[in-house]
Amino acid sequence: MILTTTDVIQGAVIDSYLGIVTAEVVYGSNFLRDFFASIRDVIGGRTASYERLFEEGQRKALLELEQRAQRLGANAVIGIEIDTGTINVDQSGVLMLITATGTAVRMR
């Protein structure tokens, strides 16, 4: 399975476009991670725990995208975009959302 952000794959011919595929990964907030991130916010610097969380989330979203494309009979997903956001649950809770979207194709 080829996953790419480009609209074309050099040397490949797309036989059919199978549709848009999406994948979502949602993480709940974590008190300790949030606490240490707030300290980093005050003193400056990178927040490694959140960086690892987003890296893992992007990897999982791409894996889910690939699996959903395979179910459609695709052997590639083109034009992939990854987006991140938050969902406010209540005044004390936030969910982190990572989405991946692309076009499932069959190519030769």
Here the CATH number for the domain that contains residue 17 is 3.30.110.70
- Residue count (the chain): 108
- Number of domains making up the chain: 1
Q: Which residues pair with 86 in a beta bridge?
A: 96
Bridge-based pairing state of the strands 76-90 and 2-3: parallel
What is the residue range of 100's domain? 2-107
For the chain, which residues score pLDDT lower than 50? 31-32, 35-36, 39, 42
Model pLDDT, residue 95: 82
Cα separation, 93 vs 3, whole angstroms: 33
| pLDDT score for 85 | 87
pLDDT for 36: 46
The answer, as to whether pTM is greater than 0.75, is yes
| Digit-coded pLDDT (tens) for 10-28 | 999 999 999 999 999 998 7
- Note the pLDDT of residue 34: 54
